[in-house]
Amino acid sequence: MKHETHQNQIISAKLFNSQRYIHSLIVYFLFFGSGLVIGISLTFYLKDVPITLKKKLFTIQPSPPLIVPPKSRPPPSLPIFHQEQDVTMNNNIKRKIPGVGRIGLTDYIKPPEAMHDMMDDELIWRASMIPKAKIFPFNRTPKVAFMFLARGSLPLAPLWERFFRGHEGRYSIYIHSQPSFKGDAPEEGPIFHGRRVPSKRVDWGEFSMVDAERRLLANALLDMSNERFVLLSEACIPLYNFTTIYTYIMNSTKTFVESYDEWGPVGRGRYNSQMTPWVTIEQWRKGSQWFELDREIALDMITDQKYFNLFKDFCRPACYSDEHYLPTFVTMRYWWKNGNRTLTWVDWTKGGPHPTKFARTEVTKELLHQMRTGIQCMYNGEPTNMCYLFARKFLPSALDRLLKFAPKVMMF
């Protein structure tokens, strides 16, 4: 009896344990199934959640920064506004630009001082910068640069002052004097003051003459309003008034560099065969050093190294570079836009290496009329007897008679 009771207890315990195991198994499957369902649902939900929100949900956010009490903070820096500046635009509309001391092209287009501390290579580098845009974004009056190659002062300055008077803004003046010149020029008025450029020694017949011409051109090119460039000497005079000369030069379709093929000893006879093949004897030209150039040729001349160095090495006295370099250079590169004549009248009838000089008693109305209308030439494809705008070589003693005849003959 006891044995049966004991067996029944054992069987009941086994059944109880089996039931507990089955119950635990069911609970485990319920939890597993619930987790699986939740995981699948969450996966489908997160597919539609933006990435930025996922980052917010699953990224640990840093603690907010410590807030500094207002009393311990430094006072905020306020923007500083200078006095408003008027800026006149190209369409004549004025705009107020606050807080600015320099505007746009103001400093860039301002004509620089003639005297500076640039070396020749620095000057040429600076002068060779050209804008590619053909339309100027500012009001610009084209000017003629009058470049005087002088030993010292300009003894005929009072005549030139009368010529320039009332035409400010349409001309620029540049003077290249010998470095030994100390600046004592009481005959020069205010328009010439401060117009001397840094210079170097120039010797007659030497290549230094070409150097001086390039130096004058480079200084004149710094002013972007200078459109035409005239080389003169201290012994030159104008034959017409300013308006006539300005109009003649500005309206010309040609530049004026005298260039011709001279077969004699002072022409082809000065050619050096070592310049072949860059310059042949057929390309060799001679002409007056007193030229008129446009901006394109002037820029090309100051930056030229090939022909410049060739003439420097192989055109030495009795080859005079100032009579051959530019005529040859322009004919080789710009023959189609050159008038092949000079605008400066000179008398070579007496022969020799120097032209005729005119003292006081030799200056007459007839002489000036002859200089103004004595020959015929071509201007813009039409014949004209107005071929020379300037003349030389006048001595300082001729000044008073020139001032006397200027209003009647030259009309200024």
Q: Using CA atoms, how far apart are residues 265 and 255, in angstroms rounded to an integer?
A: 27
Flag whether 314 is in a domain: yes
Residue 313 in tokens: 């090495």
Q: Select the more confidently predicted residue: 84 or 332.
A: 332
Flag whether 257 is in a domain: yes
Does residue 294 share a domain with residue 171?
A: yes
Does residue 235 share a domain with residue 326?
A: yes
Could you please report the per-residue DSSP string of 228-286? EEEEEETT-EESS-HHHHHHHHHT-SSBB---B---STTTGGG--GGGTTTS-TTT--B
Flag whether 64 is in a domain: no
Q: Which residues, other chains included, contact 399 with Cβ-Cβ below 8 Å and sequence gap of 6+?
A: 155, 156, 158, 159
Does residue 213 share a domain with residue 241?
A: yes
Query: Which of 282, 314, 342 corresponds to the end of one domain?
Result: 342
Does residue 337 share a domain with residue 198?
A: yes
The per-residue pLDDT for 19 is: 57
Say yes or no to pLDDT of 98 above 50.
yes
Say yes or no to pLDDT of 393 above 60.
yes
From residue 305, alpha-carbon distances to 25, 126, 214, 312 in Å are: 101, 16, 12, 10
CA neighbor of 349 nearest in space, from 377, 370, 326: 370
Does residue 377 share a domain with residue 307?
A: no
Residue with tokens 């200024």: 412
Does residue 335 share a domain with residue 249?
A: yes
Query: Which of 319, 342, 365 corresponds to the end of one domain?
Result: 342
Q: Select the more confidently predicted residue: 20 or 15.
A: 20
| Average of per-residue pLDDT values in the chain | 84
Q: How confident is the model at residue 77 (pLDDT cuts 50, 70, 90)?
A: very low
Flag whether 23 is in a domain: no
Query: Which of 316, 342, 368 corresponds to the end of one domain?
Result: 342
Provide mean pLDDT across the span 212-219.
98
Flag whether 320 is in a domain: yes
Does residue 404 share a domain with residue 311?
A: no
Provide mean pLDDT across the span 364-391.
96
Lowest mean per-residue pLDDT among 94-108, 348-362, 377-391: 94-108
Flag whether 50 is in a domain: no
Q: Which residues, other chains included, contact 178 with Cβ-Cβ below 8 Å and sequence gap of 6+?
A: 151, 152, 199, 201, 202
Does residue 357 share a domain with residue 256?
A: no
The strand pair at 94-97 and 85-88 is best described as antiparallel
Flag whether 242 is in a domain: yes
Percent of the chain residues past pLDDT 70, beyond the cut: 75
Predicted structure pTM score: 0.76
The per-residue pLDDT for 18 is: 54
Percent of the chain residues past pLDDT 90, beyond the cut: 67
Residue numbers of the domain that contains 164: 113-130+140-342
The per-residue pLDDT for 2 is: 43
Does residue 299 share a domain with residue 217?
A: yes
Q: Select the more confidently predicted residue: 336 or 47.
A: 336
**Contact predicate 346/375, CB 8 Å:** no
Does residue 406 share a domain with residue 299?
A: no
Does residue 249 share a domain with residue 205?
A: yes
Domain count along the chain: 2
Is residue 318 reached through a cis peptide bond, with omega within 30 degrees of 0 on the bond before it? yes
Q: How confident is the model at residue 183 (pLDDT cuts 50, 70, 90)?
A: confident
Say yes or no to pLDDT of 246 above 80.
yes
Question: What's the CATH code of the domain at 185?
Answer: 3.90.550
Q: How confident is the model at residue 353 (pLDDT cuts 50, 70, 90)?
A: confident
Q: How confident is the model at residue 139 (pLDDT cuts 50, 70, 90)?
A: confident
Provide mean pLDDT across the span 64-85.
42
Provide mean pLDDT across the span 335-349.
96
Q: How confident is the model at residue 344 (pLDDT cuts 50, 70, 90)?
A: very high
> Quick count: other Cβ atoms within 10 Å of Cβ 315?
24
Does residue 261 share a domain with residue 235?
A: yes
Say yes or no to pLDDT of 361 above 80.
yes
